[in-house]
A and B are shown apart, each in its own frame.
Chain A
Amino acid sequence: MTHPEEPLDTSGTQISRRNLLKGVAAGAGVLAAPALLAACGDDDEAATTTAAAASGGDTEAPMASGTVSVGSNASDPLTKDAYAAMFARFEEKNPDVTLAINTVDHNTFQEQINTYLQGRPDDAFTWFAGYRMQFFADKGLSTSINDVWDTIGANYASSFKQASTGLDGNQYFVPFITYPWALFYRKSFFADNGYTIPTTIDELKTLSEGMMADGFVPIAFGDKDGWPAMGTFDYLNMRVNGYQYHVDLMAHREKWNDDRTKQVFATWAELLPYHQPGALGRTWQDAAQTVANKEAGMYLLGMFVGEQFQEVSQEARDDLDFFAFPEINPDHGQDSVDAPIDGFMISKAPENIDGAKELLKFIGTGEAQKFYTDANSNWLATANDADTSGYDALQNKGAELIASASNIAQFLDRDTRPDFASTVVLPSIQTFLNNPEDINGLTDSMEEQAVAIFTE
């Protein structure tokens, strides 16, 4: 239940707890606020709305007003400040709308999403694209926002619209920020040792042999929390079998004990000798440190790995670069990328739907997204009109990688049922890493469990 974007670490526990409590307190306030405002401010606001409509004329009707409550999982201080600045800008542009922000600890927000959405959720809330969005849309716990997409649609690539569309063909989600997964390395480490970027799996193997001969660990690896190895599975699957097979397998339209799935594990088994041993006892942070310290050559992770390099030194962060996962099957080349998208949705019965939609239209602009990408240089904006002049070299390259991909996947635990990802795929991959020999037994067991879970 820990997820890439905000791993649970020891140092943060205290702060998260405090934020959680604050969130709870704020939540209590939020519940009371709209009712109060509605009770005492109805006449005034109706008057302003009419006046604005009369004088402005050219603004879209109905003009939003009142208070919009927003449930946010942006609990770490950096993110929270960036969100606050963005929300402040929205209020500035829409003087009639007040935002009531209810920030909850990132992991707690995720774990309680079920009860949250069924109870009295905020009007708008932060969430993730892909299956995890579709699931709640399908359960009727979120409001479709096709009219928002009429406004912002032109500002997004079709892959982003696809990632925002529910199973019924309606849109339920507005993308805010994203980051790609790729193989990260230090430029100076490759230059000093005369290594070249591999574009095929054979080149990757040759490079790895070379690194081992030079006394380095070729591929850093840490899977103590279970989710990082899902990225490796995703890429191997998309490179071996293509994006469509990934989507079908995640939805269990393909079988886990299919020969094509077994081929993914078999390819992985060939690469395992080049991976850092002892991965199941190592956190991704520790694995990233070994690349930053030039003990290991490369590391398959999301761009948030930059945070660890920053911790080592600014020089290490500036030296950080990446390349796309190499080609395995020429039919699919390097055409797919894992790039999870964070964004916003509207709950099932918002008290202020006009205001919430107005907010989501703003979320879908480069102006809003810049507040975030300026504050955290390991993330990217999703809108076409995003001002990328503030991007550093890594951000520019990340944006290029995503723009050049024909298919964007959301990461394994966002593309399939969360209960299947956490209770079946996660432990199964760990079993595989302990015993890469028994692929048949492993995939049969995964398929049996998939059948049990997906019939629910």
Chain B
Amino acid sequence: MSTRSEVEVAVARERTKRKRFRLLTNRDLGVLVFMLGLPALIHVFFVWVPALLSILLSFSRWDGIGGVEAIEWIGLTNYEQVATIYPPFWPAVVHNLIWLGFFILIATPFGMFLAVQLDKEMKGSKFYQNALYVPVVLSLALVGFIWQLIYSPEQGLINNVLGRTDPENLIDWLGNPSINLWMILIAASWRHVGYIMILYLAGLKSVDPALKEAAAIDGATSRQTFFHVVFPVLKPINIVILVITIIESLRAFDIVYVTNKGTNGLELLSVAVTNNIIGEASRIGFGSALAVILLIVSLGIIIPYLWRTFRADEVAA
């Protein structure tokens, strides 16, 4: 009955406003408001309200004890101190960028390369696929613990294999600030490569084989087929992979934190935020300023990219 009355109402409306079509019934509208509105509300409440409060707190000096009246407003002092007298800050920025560069230029392409190889259905590809995917199910913190066993100076695997455990010749993989970031990046990539591989493999499986056959008939080499046919077809997957890579690079934290709390060559913005905010007698204002900088860096990388991508899509459509 209700459907009928709704139809009648709709018809009546249409008569009064001849030009306006209504594609949604009231019920649809209700469902839409519920399904979109509630998540939007939750998102605003749990993401944007705290983010805005962090921005507000970044102009203050507060040790987290006492109420709002205990907060002292000090303008841009925190930002000034971050940039001038806080030694971990600039290394942290550089390390975050190196992390991003390493993932985009080396780890992610390598994961895609492995996916392309596995897609060729060679012998034992299931085995390789599983072996490469196993690290992905481990948390990055656990990956950190595992690789510490490998890099440890006297007891570690690498130094023992190389026979460099004596004080005169040992290699301090995680303690030497000029190499430890790279060692951590290898450990992080060990997991990241498998992640990208499985995503890309799923994408490759969805490519219509007819495309590849057509390319082969036209005389394209497998290399040309990939770069000129398969890769462009996989554009949606490519975007997902790039965004995931950027996100993984910017939220890098746990592996560094379990290794040495993000000091001595492993400074990252995320760790600087944590070290200042978590714990006793926190420097809430100072840590918030660092968090805001991380937010700006993240938005600065993600927004232009997504904006360009979606605008290009609209133009194409």
A, B in one complex: yes
A-to-B contact residues, CB < 8 Å: 1-2, 10, 110-111, 113-115, 118, 132, 135, 139, 141, 217, 224-226, 276-282, 286, 289-290, 417-419, 422-423, 426-428, 430-431, 434, 445, 448-449, 452-453, 456
Task: Report 17 cross-chain contacts, Cβ distance below 8 Å, ordered by A residue.
Answer: A114-B281, A139-B65, A141-B65, A278-B153, A278-B176, A280-B172, A280-B174, A281-B153, A282-B175, A286-B153, A289-B155, A290-B154, A423-B276, A431-B264, A434-B177, A449-B86, A449-B87
Interface hub of A115, A279, A430, A445 (most chain B Cβ within 10 A): A430
How far in angstroms is the closest Cβ of chain A from B292?
A: 18
Which chain A residue lies CB-closest to B263? A427
Q: Taking A139-B65, A282-B153, A282-B175 as contacts, is the C-beta distance between A427 and B88 under 8 angstroms?
A: yes
List chain B residues, Cβ under 8 A from A445: 85, 87
B175 → chain A, closest Cβ, in Å? Answer: 3
**Residues of B near any A CB (own CB < 8 A):** 61, 63-66, 81, 85-88, 145, 151-155, 167, 170, 172-177, 180, 259-261, 263-264, 275-276, 278-283
- Min C-beta distance of B133 to chain A, whole Å: 23
B151/A281 in contact, CB under 8 A: yes
Minimum CB–CB distance for B90 against chain A, Å? 13
Which of B63, B152, B281 interacts with A281 by CB under 8 Å? B152
Interface of B is mostly: loop
Cross-chain contact B176 with A422 (CB below 8 angstroms):
no
Q: Which residues of A contact B260 (CB under 8 A)?
A: 224-226, 280
Contacting pair A448 B263 (CB below 8 A): no
B176 near A114: Cβ-Cβ < 8 Å: no
Instruction: Point out the residues of chain A lying under 8 angstroms from B155, CB to CB.
Output: 286, 289
Q: Of A111, A217, A280, which is within 8 A of B264 by CB?
A: A280
For residue A278, which residues in chain B have a CB less than 8 angstroms away from its CB? 153, 167, 170, 172, 175-176
Q: How far is the CA of A419 from the CA of B86 in the complex (A)?
A: 13
B152 lies within 8 A of A422 (CB): no
Looking across the interface, which residue of chain A has its beta carbon closest to that of B175?
A: A281
Centre residue among B86, B259, B263 by max chain A CB count within 10 A: B263
Give min CB distance, A355 to chain B, whole Å.
Answer: 26
Give complex CA distance A184, B1 in Å.
88
A83 → B minimal CB distance (Å): 22
Cα(A72)–Cα(B281), bound, Å: 20
Cβ–Cβ contact B176 & A418, under 8 A? no
Assess the B275–A423 pair: CB atoms within 8 A. yes
**From residue B70, how far is it (CB to closest CB) to chain A in Å?**
9
Bound Cα distance A163, B308 (Å): 62
B63 near A456 with CB under 8 A, answer yes
Closest partner residue, chain A, to B146 (CB atom): A10
- With A224-B174, A281-B152, A427-B88 as given contacts, are A456 and B283 in contact (CB-CB < 8 Å)? yes
A181 to B94, CA, bound (A): 38
Cross-chain contact A423 with B172 (CB below 8 angstroms): no
Flag if A10 contacts B145 (CB, 8 Å).
yes
CB pair B261 A217 closer than 8 Å = no
Bound CA span A447–B64, Å: 24
Contact of A418 among B152, B259, B261, B280 (CB under 8 A): B280
The distance in angstroms between the C-alpha atoms of A430 and B180, with both chains bound, is 14
Residues of B close to A456: CB separation below 8 A: 61, 63, 283
Q: Determine the residue in chain B with the shortest Cβ distance to A279.
A: B175
List the A side residues contacting B66 at CB < 8 Å.
Answer: 139
Given A114-B64, A419-B282, answer yes or no on A282-B154 (Cβ-Cβ < 8 Å): yes
Assuming the contacts A280-B176, A418-B280, A418-B281, asked whether A426 and B263 have C-beta atoms less than 8 A apart, the reply is: yes
A167 to chain B, nearest CB (A): 14
CB distance from B235 to the nearest CB of A (A): 42
A289 to B276 Cα, complex, angstroms: 33
- Extra contacts, 18 of them, besides A224-B175, A419-B279, A430-B264 (Cβ < 8 A), are A1-B279, A110-B279, A113-B280, A114-B279, A114-B282, A115-B64, A118-B65, A280-B175, A280-B176, A281-B180, A286-B152, A286-B154, A289-B154, A419-B282, A427-B88, A427-B264, A452-B81, A453-B283
Residues of B within 8 A of A418 (CB): 279-281
Q: Are B85 and A434 in contact (CB under 8 A)?
A: no
For A417, A427, A428, A449, the residue with the greatest tally of chain B CB atoms inside 10 Å of its CB is A427
Bound Cα distance A456, B62 (Å): 8
Q: Please, which residues of chain A bring their CB within 8 A of the CB of B177?
A: 280, 434
What is the chain B residue whose CB lies nearest that of A430?
A: B264
- Top 10 nearest A-B pairs (CB, nearest first) are A281-B175, A280-B175, A278-B172, A281-B172, A281-B174, A418-B280, A448-B85, A430-B264, A427-B263, A278-B153
A1 touches B278 (CB 8 A): yes
State in angstroms the CA–CA spacing of A277 and B176 once bound together: 10
Shortest Cβ gap from B111 to chain A (Å):
27
Q: Is the CB of A419 within 8 A of B87?
A: no
Q: A452 contacts which chain B residues (CB < 8 A)?
A: 81, 85
Q: Which residues of B contact A281 (CB under 8 A)?
A: 151-153, 172-176, 180
Taking a contact as CB atoms closer than 8 A, the residue among A111, A139, A449 that contacts B85 in the complex is A449
Q: Are B85 and A423 in contact (CB under 8 A)?
A: no
| A10 to B144 alpha-carbon distance, docked (Å) | 10
Measured in the bound complex, the distance between the Cα atoms of B176 and A422 in whole Å is: 20
What B residues does A2 contact at CB under 8 A? 261
In-complex Cβ contact of B170 among A110, A277, A428, A431 (8 A): A277
Contacts of A113 in B (CB 8 A): 280
A135/B153 in contact, CB under 8 A: no
Q: Would you call A419 and B281 a contact (CB within 8 A)?
A: yes
CB nearest neighbor in B for A217: B167
Question: Could you say which residues of chain A place their CB within 8 Å of the CB of B145?
Answer: 10
Determine which of A135, A217, A224, A448 lies in contact with B281 in the assembled complex, contact meaning CB atoms within 8 Å. A135
Cβ–Cβ < 8 Å partners of B176 in chain A? 278, 280-281
Q: What chain B residues lie within 8 Å of A282 (beta carbons)?
A: 152-154, 172, 175
When the two chains form their complex, are residues B65 and A114 in contact, meaning their CB atoms are under 8 A apart? Answer: yes
Chain B residue, CB-CB nearest to A132: B280
Bound form: Cα–Cα A111–B261 in Å: 14
Residue of chain A at shortest CB distance from B61:
A456
CB-based nearest A residue for B261: A226
Closest to A1 in B: B279
